[in-house]
Amino acid sequence: MIFFYRLFPALLAFTVGVSFYWQIKEPAAYPWVGLFGVLLTVIAAFIMSRKRVRILDLIEKMLPTALFLLALVFGMLLAEGQIAVWAIIFFGAVVTFLSLELLFLLSFMPSRYPVNGLSHVNIAYVPFIVWYVIANSVGLMAFLHSPVWIHVLILTVLSVILFRTTGHPSATREQNRLWMFVGGLAGLHIGLLGIMLPLSMSAQATLGMIVFCAILRLRRYMYHPMPVRKQAWFEGAIAMAIIIVAISTAKWI
C-alpha cells in the first residue's frame, strides 16, 4: 500500500499539468477542467494523510498549496503568450509534486521529513499566490468592470488565510489571531491601493506582492532566533528598490 501512496506526488503532478494544459486549450470549459486537477490534489492529500496527520494540521499545511493552484486557474483567464501559459502549467505541476512529496514524508517517513518542511514551502508560495491573484483581479476590474469591492474582499480574505497558514511554529493561538487581523488590514489596504493606483496589471501585482511580503516578513523578526540587523536593513533596501523600480518603470493607465 505504501508503494501506491509513493506514486501520488508524481502521478498528481502529471495530472495537474495535463488538466491545466487541457484547460488552456479548451477555454470554453473554464474553469472546470482546471479545478478538476485541483480537486484531485486535495483528495490525494486527504487520502495520504488519513489517520496519520490531524485534519486541522493537514488543512493548515496544505491550504496554501490549494490556494496556489486556484490562483493559477484564476490566472488562466488573462494569461497571454506562451511563456505565461507554460509558466502556469509548470508551477502547477511543481507545486503539486513538492507539497505531496513532503506530505508523504510527513505521513509515512517522518524521520526523513525536513523540519517544518511544508511551512517553509508555504512561505515560498506566498509571493506567487499574491501576484497571480492581484494581477487577475485588477485585470477583471479593467476589462470586465467587475465591482471594486470584490477585489478588496478577495485580497482581505486571502491575506487573513495566508497569515494564518504561514504562522511561525512557536506562535501562540492568541498571536496567530493577532497576525490574522494584521493580515486582514494588510490585504484591505493593498486592495484599496489597487483601486486607486492607475498602474498596469503586472505593476499592480508586483507592488502589492512586495508590500504584502514585506509585512509578512516583519513578523519573522518577532520570534527567536531573530535575523541579524544587517539582514533586516538589506531586505528593506531590496524591497524599497523593487518598489521604486516597479513604480518608475510601470505603464500608467
Please state the pTM of the whole predicted model.
0.94
pLDDT of residue 113: 95
Q: Per mean pLDDT, which of 96-105, 216-225, 229-238 is the most reliable?
A: 96-105
pLDDT of residue 178: 93
What percent of the chain stands above pLDDT 90? 70
In which region does residue 110 sit, left (phi positive, over 0), alpha (psi from -120 to 50) or beta (all else)? alpha
Q: Per mean pLDDT, which of 122-126, 193-197, 222-226 is the most reliable?
A: 122-126
Grade residue 253 by pLDDT with cuts at 50, 70 and 90. low
Distance CA 163, CA 141 (A): 25
Distance CA 61, CA 65 (A): 8
In the chain, count H helices and then E strands.
Answer: 10, 0
